[in-house]
Structure 1
Amino acid sequence: MLRYLPVLLYVGLVIYALADMTQRPDKAPYGVPKWGWAVIIVVVPILGAGAWIVLSKFYPDQPTQGRTRPSAPDDDPEYLAWLRDQARRRRQSGEEQGR
């Protein structure tokens, strides 16, 4: 069983690298097309998968043209302004009812 361990580790490494590579949004991550990375990972034993893993860990994805929308409501300046406006209206309506 111990003699199969290197083969199992290699297969696991290749599967991990291929899965990580296919999930990248770029069509050519790190300057190489995805099909090229697939060939490198499968054909070059250990070095291909190792190169992908090293590059993906030390050089993560760069943001694609900035965020167009806030990720949460409290990051959105328009939403925060709307909340302040609602609070002001509630205060004004409460003051008018009290008079």
Structure 2
Amino acid sequence: MSTPAASVRSLPKAVWFAVLVLLPVLGPLAWLFAGRPRRGATRRAAAPERGAPDDDEDFLRELRRRADDHRRRARDPRDDGKP
């Protein structure tokens, strides 16, 4: 406030003072109400569609193979599956 009025550019000193005092308070409030994106404005990428694992033939085939291996080992504990 000690700067001569002739040296202040664009706005009167009182307006600059008001801007400096009010901006830290009003700036964040203005951003909260006017600057934030709307909830529905952002679009999220759709999640990839996945079927249930029991619909996947490869998964079921591998599951059957593992179950057969498990049963075979349970019948003959000496067979460790190595040739």
- Confirm or deny a common fold (TM above 0.5): no
Q: Which has the higher contact order (CA 8 A, sep 6+)?
A: 1
**Bigger radius of gyration:** 2
TM-score (norm 2): 0.36
TM-score (norm 1): 0.32
